[in-house]
A and B are shown apart, each in its own frame.
Chain A
Amino acid sequence: MNQKVLLTSKEINIILHRLACQLIETHLDFSNTVLIGLQPRGIFLAERLTKILREDYKVKNIKLGFLDITFYRDDFRRGEKTLQANTTEIDFLVEDKNVVFIDDVLYTGRSIRAALTAIQSFGRPSNIELLTLIDRRFSRHLPIQPNYRGRQVDAINEEKVKVMWKENDGKDIVYLVNK
């Protein structure tokens, strides 16, 4: 197994600030916008972006929630193992809100399809956008594209994109791993 660095910590930091600015450009004061980090890996990106928006760009009143999509996936009983759920934490209404889904890697688009169904259990959003750190081009199974992307990469199916976060994995770095 060999791996090459796709993004360094410094590059990640620059991208996060750009994504934060792009979000502000569209959502201004976030008064009618909610951020939803997708479990399990999207929550680190969502938390980091929220921190940057609050501390560096002084945006107040950001609502951040976490959505678990396990029970909405389309591969139940198709793999070897039981799919294990994670915590959903959405303590606000999404009815008529602008929802921004946040995930680390966009690959087949199936997780986002599940998230689109799952969020309906919490109300009918005014619209839904998607932000991802890594967009794996040419690998989509569904017609889903991000509104905000950190970096677009061309990776073949045998390769895996591994996003690591300081809070969880000790350092910020993105690898392209050859399985």
Chain B
Amino acid sequence: MSELSVNHLLGIKYLNKKDIELIFETADHFKEVINRSIKKVPTLRDTTIANIFFESSTRTKLSFELAEKRLSADVINFSASQSSVKKGETLIDTVNNILSMKVDMVVMRHPNPGAGIFLSKHVKASIINAGDGAHEHPTQALLDSYSIRERLGEVTGKNVVIVGDILHSRVALSNIFALKKQGAQVKVCGPKTLIPKYIESLGVSVETNLKKALEWCDVANMLRVQNERMDISYFPSTREYTQQFGVNKKLLDSLDKQIVIMHPGPINRGVEITSDVADSNQSIILEQVENGVAIRMAVIYLLASKIK
């Protein structure tokens, strides 16, 4: 198979294992491209891409924009804070107005779950979901798995624990789908209040003791506590959270193996992860960022090639 089974990247849920493998193989080639002295290829010079962000983002937006520019696409950026959305325009109207300027692809981040799926049914453009509420963040999960594959050789058969605020995390859900599809075992670990009630129906197990979870895993993906999405108090204090679910060097050194530490960013240093862990050689946090550009180039390339 040499093309994706989907026309949009709305979530990992809609991809199959072969799609993920194809994205990784393509990303290998783009990783070589972005390490050349001239880091650009002319492939998408006839493609225009709109980055529409209804929610704040630094890393993802920069990474998508860089990926698009490295592929020679024309890029327009749109942030909801400076737009007519504030004047009452609907999502479909906003996007259709942008599309009437002959845009081929839309990369969208939106606070509402399912916004990408809704859009893909109403507009004629290829949609890439760059995060929709607490639902999915597919390119993050792809780059996370790609980074595991790069460090450990393969994802299949590996034990991965996702630690932290699972309830509000689109990264967690997309990662669970991606890891399970590739044959990894997944555990989630965090305060009971931050673990969704029916999470086990996704084929993952729950562990509330961080030390036990770390002893079991090959990879620990540390998530940030998403205070901005919390309307009530889910745990007594940040200090207590850190004591129970924060990873520090002492805890890592007490394990009988070297596990890989990941973090999708932004890091709250000293809360979910200490600085000496984030900057240690067990951490692949900066590799994740570099791989993010290659993965997004691969996704954009593969989807753009299906635009007729």
Contacts and interface: CB of A to CB of B under 8 A. Distances in A.
Do A and B make up one complex? Answer: yes
Contacts, number: 53
A77 B29 contact: no
Contacts of B40: 121
B6 interface: no
B88 to A, nearest CB: 37
B290 to A, nearest CB: 18
Interface string B5-37: 000000000000000000001101100110011
A81 B3 contact: yes
Contact of A88 (B25, B32, B305): B32
A83 B33 CA distance: 16
A122 B26 CA distance: 20
B38 A121 contact: yes
B176 interface: no
A85 interface: yes
A84 interface: yes
Contact of A72 (B2, B42, B304): B42
B29 A88 contact: yes
B41 A77 contact: no
B77 interface: no
Contacts of B302: 82
Given A82-B2, A82-B305, A87 B36 contact: no
A88 B36 CA distance: 11
B37 A87 contact: no
A83 B38 CA distance: 22
B236 to A, nearest CB: 52
Interface string A105-133: 00000000000010011110000000000
Interface string B46-80: 10000000000000000000000001000000000
A121 B25 CA distance: 21
A72 B43 contact: yes
Contact of B307 (A70, A77, A84, A123): A77
Contact of A77 (B33, B36, B305): B305
Interface residues of A, number: 19
A85 B24 CA distance: 12
B306 interface: yes
Nearest to A79: B305
Contact of B32 (A87, A117, A123): A87
Contacts of A120: 38
A117 B42 CA distance: 9
A122 B2 CA distance: 28
B80 to A, nearest CB: 31
Contact of B29 (A76, A81, A85, A122): A85
A88 B28 CA distance: 10
A104 interface: no
Interface in A39-94: 68, 70-72, 76-77, 81-88
B306 A71 contact: no
A77 B38 CA distance: 24
B29 A87 contact: yes
Nearest to A68: B29
Nearest to B297: A71
Contacts of A86: 29
Contacts of B306: 82
B41 A71 contact: yes
Contacts of A70: 29
A120 B36 CA distance: 11
B73 to A, nearest CB: 12
Nearest to B306: A82
B41 A72 contact: yes
Contacts of A117: 42
Contact of B37 (A81, A83, A88, A122): A122
Contacts of A83: 305
Nearest to A74: B42
Contacts of B71: 71
Contacts of A84: 2, 25-26
A128 B28 CA distance: 28
Contacts of B37: 121-123
5 contacts: A71-B71, A83-B305, A84-B26, A85-B26, A121-B36
Given A70-B29, A71-B41, A84-B25, 7 more contacts: A71-B33, A77-B46, A82-B302, A83-B305, A87-B32, A88-B29, A121-B37
